[in-house]
Chains A and B, each alone.
Chain A
Amino acid sequence: MGDPATGMTGKVVDSVVHTSVATFYSNLVTRPTGRAVRSAIEEQLQGGRGRCVSVLDFSQVGVLDFSCADEVIAKLLRRYLRSDRPSDAFFIVQGVLEHHRDPIDAVLRRHNLLLVAVESGRPALWGPAPGRLRAAWDCLDRMGRLGASEFASTYGVNQATASSWLRRLVNWRVAVPESFDSFSSLPAVLSRRDGGEAPEAGRYPAAAEEMAPYGPEPSGGDGHPRPSGDTDPYPSAPGGSKPLPAY
């Protein structure tokens, strides 16, 4: 596993943890291997770093089978989707190749999960997202950072609806809240480590060593914007042992 590092990533997250998932095995096959990889990732995320983005690098992974993808990706996302998640981590996978897509996509669909993946340098939303949620993510990905009012005017919906859609992305852990009604895409959060404002597709921290220390968590609270009540965010805001989201 790569060394965890704390990086300057703007005001949205406290740290970025960069992990090469192929450190132990170049071929990620079998469930025990997947469990070992997941445990190592979770270990890196322990220690109360506040909100963090975990970048999982698949570029050195040869074979990825369905069983291992289920153990590494699905079980990791499921655990951090719960309200009792061990830490406030968001996940993005990079370096994924065409042959990784099938097993990852299959486990995302099986469990109704979403994941931001960077394939051939371009970020994409993987998993069974409904059309309007995907549209919201696409818009956020293009803009990098987005307020609900901006999104509302772009899509011709009222602000409450726009806010609801963006919050759903946060609840799915595929967008990061900046303030009550402002949101960032995960690629944008990573790109901003260089001090730039606009995200640039394909630009990600190449190595943990590139990242510099960062200060205290800006949001103060738990980092999750509260639904205003006039919408129906789905999945609902974290709530203990509630079932996993389903469409």
Chain B
Amino acid sequence: MTVVLPVAETLDDRGFETLVSGWAGAEGGRALFDARHVRWVSPYGILGLLAAGAAWQERFGERPLLEPPESKEVASYLGRIRFYEHAHELFDFQGHVRKRAAGESDALLEITPVRSHQDVHDVVDRVRDRAAAILGKRLGYPPPAVLHFSVILSEVCQNIVEHAGTDGWVSAQTYNWKQRLGRQVVVIAVMDVGMGFRGSLAREHAQRYGDRWSDETALEAAFLHGVSRYRDPGRGQGLQGIRKQVLRWNGFFTIRSGTAQIAEVPDWIDKQPIASGLPDFPGAQIQVVLPQVVPPGGGD
């Protein structure tokens, strides 16, 4: 039996939630991720598709099928950000797919696997020049912003290496959030399908929480209180540092893990800081959105 999981036309954070609903409700079999009608993807959404494929294989032991987007623009973009290279490791494809499009990618950071600390170094080294150009020229950030941005990237990627217990991916892109914000943004997405925050923290902290221990309390502990699974008191500072920097830039920072999601929410987005009871999905899915700087008196 083949289970068809339709991929939303707009594959962003909301599109990912739709995908997760289908994933969580499935009972096994051969999955077909039907992405033919995808018209737009965000870094979070496209990593979400990879994560859903990996999670399906992990859960049911069967390699899923993928129907790639029919839109030439989307297909070309996915080639440039190296989606197909990574998707080939997870999915069997139906239809013809160009493995890699010709031409230079305009992405801030193409889809990049995160498996080791060396990968974190590579990401930080690779992104610097592009980040300087994008943050400075297009988003109006001051020159040191690229260094703060690199710290954010480094810490979110290390979250995979240190806590997930499996590999993950990172990607970053800049685009115009016309509808939501009317400004350009940089979006960083980092995902894995590992043990998640509850799994990572359980051994050290679950007992203390008793019946209240859940994905939600685990996220609160890590995100709000800097709790870590390690006894080393220096652990857990990365997320706190990211929160502080994202707040300074009036950005949006969210982590989804298991059935819960927690966020640092700026005034320009209508979202609850904590959500629970979401469809269960393994690992951690992180998104950072940094908006274009509005000059004084520029308004929104």
The residue that A65 contacts in the complex, of B125, B155, B240, B244, with Cβ under 8 A, is: B155
Q: How far is the CB of A29 from chain B (nearest CB, A)?
A: 4
Q: Are B237 and A67 in contact (CB under 8 A)?
A: yes
Please name all residues of chain B whose beta carbon is closer than 8 Å to the beta carbon of A33 when the two chains form the complex: 117, 121
Q: Does the CB pair A29–B147 fall under 8 Å?
A: no
The reply to whether A30 and B241 form a contact with Cβ atoms under 8 Å apart is: no
**What sequence of 0s and 1s flags, for each residue 124-148 of chain B, a beta carbon within 8 Å of any chain A beta carbon?**
1100100000000000000010011
- A67 to B121, Cβ gap below 8 A? no
B147-164 contacts to A (CB < 8 Å):
147-148, 150-151, 154-155, 158, 161-162
Q: Is B298 an interface residue (CB 8 A)?
A: no
Give A79 to B162 CA distance when docked, in angstroms.
24
Whole-angstrom CA separation of A103 from B148 in the bound complex: 10
Contact call A63/B154, Cβ cutoff below 8 A = yes
Identify which of B117, B121, B238 contacts A66 (C-beta below 8 A): B238
Q: Determine if A65 and B154 form an interchain contact, defined as CB atoms under 8 angstroms apart.
A: yes
Q: Which residue of A has the minimal Cβ distance to B161?
A: A30
Asked whether A103 and B151 contact (CB < 8 A) given A30-B117, A32-B117, the answer is yes
A65 vs B239: C-alpha distance when bound (angstroms): 11
Asked if B151 and A30 make an inter-chain contact with CB atoms under 8 angstroms apart, the answer reads no
**Chain A 66-110 per-residue mask, 1 if CB under 8 angstroms from chain B, else 0:** 110011001100000000000000000000011100110011001
CB pair A106 B117 closer than 8 Å: no
A30: contacting residue among B121, B144, B237, CB under 8 A? B121
From known contacts A67-B158, A102-B241, A102-B244, infer whether A29 and B233 are also in contact, taking CB-CB under 8 Å: no
- Does chain B have a CB within 8 A of A62? yes
The listed residue (B121, B128, B151, B234) touching A70 by CB distance below 8 A is B234
Give residues 202-216 of A contacting B (CB, 8 Å): none
Interface residues of B in 221-265 (CB under 8 A from A): 226, 233-235, 237-238, 240-241, 244-245
Known: A25-B121, A65-B155, A74-B234. A103 touches B150 (CB 8 A): no
The total of chain B residues at the interface (CB under 8 A) is 26
Contact B154 A107 (CB under 8 A): no
A111 interfacial contact with B, CB 8 Å = yes
Are A27 and B121 in contact (CB-based, < 8 A)? Answer: yes
Q: How many A-B residue contacts, CB cutoff 8 Å?
A: 82
Range of interface residues on chain A?
20 to 34
Task: Tell me if A11 counts as interface (CB < 8 A to partner B).
Answer: no
Residues of B within 8 A of A30 (CB): 117, 120-121, 154, 158, 161
A67 to B117, CA, bound (A): 12
Q: Is the CB of B233 within 8 A of A111?
A: yes
Q: Is the interface of A mostly helix, strand, loop or mixed?
A: helix
Q: Are B241 and A106 in contact (CB under 8 A)?
A: yes
Smallest CB separation, B113 vs chain A (Å): 16
Residues of B close to A170: CB separation below 8 A: none
* Whole-angstrom CA separation of A66 from B239 in the bound complex: 9
Report B272 CB to chain A, min CB distance, Å.
27
Taken together as a complex, chains A and B put the C-alpha atoms of A12 and B155 apart, in Å, by: 41
- Determine if A49 is an interface residue (Cβ-Cβ < 8 Å): no
A62 CA to B240 CA, complexed, in Å: 21
State how many angstroms separate the Cβ of B247 from the closest Cβ of chain A. Answer: 12
B161 to chain A: closest CB distance in Å?
8
Q: Find residues 33-53 in chain B having any chain A CB closer than 8 Å to their own CB.
A: none
Residues of B within 8 A of A111 (CB): 233-234
* Alpha-carbon distance A97/B120, docked complex (angstroms): 22
- Complex-state Cα separation, A179 to B192, whole angstroms: 58
Contact string against B for A residues 54-69, beta-carbon threshold 8 Å, 1 for contact and 0 otherwise: 0000000011111100
User: Which residues 110-132 of A have a CB within 8 angstroms of B?
Assistant: 110-111
- A-B contact list, 22 entries, CB within 8 Å: A27-B150, A29-B154, A30-B121, A30-B154, A33-B121, A62-B150, A63-B147, A65-B155, A65-B241, A66-B240, A67-B155, A67-B158, A67-B237, A67-B238, A71-B234, A75-B234, A97-B144, A99-B148, A99-B151, A110-B226, A110-B237, A111-B233
- Identify the A interface with B (CB < 8 A): 25, 27, 29-33, 62-67, 70-71, 74-75, 97-99, 102-103, 106-107, 110-111
> Can you name 18 extra interface pairs (CB under 8 A) apart from A30-B121, A65-B151, A65-B155?
A29-B121, A29-B151, A29-B158, A31-B117, A63-B147, A63-B154, A67-B155, A67-B238, A70-B234, A70-B235, A71-B234, A99-B148, A102-B244, A103-B241, A106-B240, A106-B244, A107-B234, A110-B237
